[in-house]
A = this chain, B = another copy of it.
Amino acid sequence: MRDFLPADVRRREYVIGVIKEVYERYGFEPLETPAVENIETLMGKYGEEGNQLIFKILKRGEHEKTGEADLALRYDLTVPLARVVAEYKEKLPKFFKRYQIQPVWRADRPARGRFREFYQCDVDALGSRSVIVEAELCAAASEALLKLGFNNFTIRLNHRQVLTGVLDAAGVAAERHADALVALDKLDKIGREGVEKELMERGIKVEAGDKLLNFFAGLVELEHAVQLAPLDEKREPESVALNQATLGRLVEFVGDHELGAHGIDELRSIITFAEASGVNTRIRIDPSLARGLSYYTGAIMEINVPDLAGSLGGGGRYDNLVGMFSGQNVPACGFSLGLERIIVVMSEREMFPETLAATPADVMVTIWNEESINDSIALATELRDAGLRVDLYTEADKLGKQFKYASSRGIQFVAVLGEDERKQGLIALKDMTTGEQKTVARDQLAATIEENL
């Protein structure tokens, strides 16, 4: 787990601020839940591996020595949301649209870019089965990334029911669907032969595996044929054509499979609705997208950037999760952006605005001698009242040391109240970036600094 020193905090707050501003414009409202949940709320929601990665909290007082845990640290933001929706049903609106940006904790082995405490930025809409929601979430997440300076991401889109349809159509037995998806997920990494082998090992019939792999190979050819323009250029005609062609292939392959056909219809609607907000050119229907979490029931999404393994975020529809807490299902769909990844990529690619180059203050007020401390404090107060960020050196050190300190902190202006200047109501103002020093009337000082910042 990490400490965030001032420059780190400023970068994080910048990213969070941009995301919040966008989500608020989409009508999402903030929610915060406690770091600690009852252990039963979390256990069993994230699979066997998840159970082991949950940080568990010892009972207190006389029960401490039992070694038992009754509480646990938040593992994601979706399960607490489901608990909240079940718990406050009466207080929440029929359609509950919330965003939540808070840390979660997982006892993973730490690795590069993976931490045991990390922030998730979730946005979810509850209460509606309409795929207008999916289209809105894609638009909101896309706008947040664009505002952060990402311009070449793709939102991959698929549908759990379409996956079911495809696997059924290929002849994969229902009880082998999960296995088939695990193998398929590796197509990028181990190639067709590798996946063929793994499908066989996982007990999927050769015939079914072949049919499946042929279908996906056809989609790859389709993509090559379309020759997509890079995403940061206008690519409307190609991406629209590719999505339409992919939908055509799916219809052909899935046929009259009821669930599959319904899923395809929903994908088509999402694309249509996405056209209206202009996010459709970012979306690529990708029938090979599976996503790990078992609670998804409909559309699934993932955002990828070229030259970056893994995703910047993802989400999907999960209509049955709230029911695990309230016994009554509430339709839900959400999207999660990975704050840590976004910050790593933005740092590496120097995407942060220059103005963020954290200086602790606009101006530092020096202290001339013990007798002038009060006057320095008064000056600092005046400048703060004028809205400036002011650091006050707190000791009557040699002036050279004070200048050196301001310079080491990257503070642009230093104000000096020398003996003579004080008598005349003047201040010596030095611009550390140019080395220029000038004398300014005390009542003009704030304005002079503001003009030159």
Contacts and interface: CB of A to CB of B under 8 A. Distances in A.
Interface in A359-401: 360-361, 364, 367, 373-378, 380-381, 384, 387-395
Interface in A271-315: 272-273, 275-278
A148 interface: no
Given A30-B13, A58-B56, A67-B66, A278 B6 contact: no
A155 to B, nearest CB: 16
B405 A93 contact: yes
A360 B27 contact: yes
A2 B34 contact: yes
A64 interface: yes
Interface string A1-44: 11111101110110000000000111111111111100000000
Interface stretch (A94-102, A235-243, A317-325): A94-102
A130 interface: yes
A93 B27 CA distance: 42
B395 A128 contact: yes
A97 to B, nearest CB: 7
Given A3-B31, A6-B30, A132-B395, 20 more contacts: A1-B34, A4-B32, A4-B33, A6-B98, A9-B31, A13-B30, A25-B390, A26-B389, A27-B360, A27-B364, A35-B73, A58-B67, A60-B107, A97-B360, A130-B394, A132-B373, A272-B374, A273-B373, A276-B373, A277-B378
Nearest to A2: B34
A28 to B, nearest CB: 8
A196 to B, nearest CB: 35
Interface of chain A: mostly helix, strand, loop or mixed:
mixed
Bin chain A's interface residue count.
35 or more
B55 A278 contact: no
Interface string A144-163: 00000000000000000000
A278 B381 CA distance: 9
Contacts of A61: 52, 107
A120 to B, nearest CB: 14
Contacts of A33: 3-4
Contacts of A390: 25-27
A87 B3 CA distance: 10
23 contacts: A3-B33, A8-B32, A25-B389, A27-B390, A27-B392, A34-B117, A56-B58, A56-B64, A57-B57, A57-B73, A67-B68, A97-B391, A128-B395, A130-B394, A132-B377, A132-B392, A132-B394, A133-B394, A136-B377, A273-B377, A276-B373, A276-B381, A277-B378
Given A34-B3, A36-B117, A91-B5, A275 B374 contact: yes
A25 B381 CA distance: 10
A394 to B, nearest CB: 4
A102 to B, nearest CB: 10
A339 to B, nearest CB: 13
A189 interface: no
A364 B27 CA distance: 9
Given A377-B277, A392-B132, A4 B27 contact: no
Given A27-B361, A32-B3, A409 B55 contact: no
A4 B116 CA distance: 24
A171 to B, nearest CB: 36
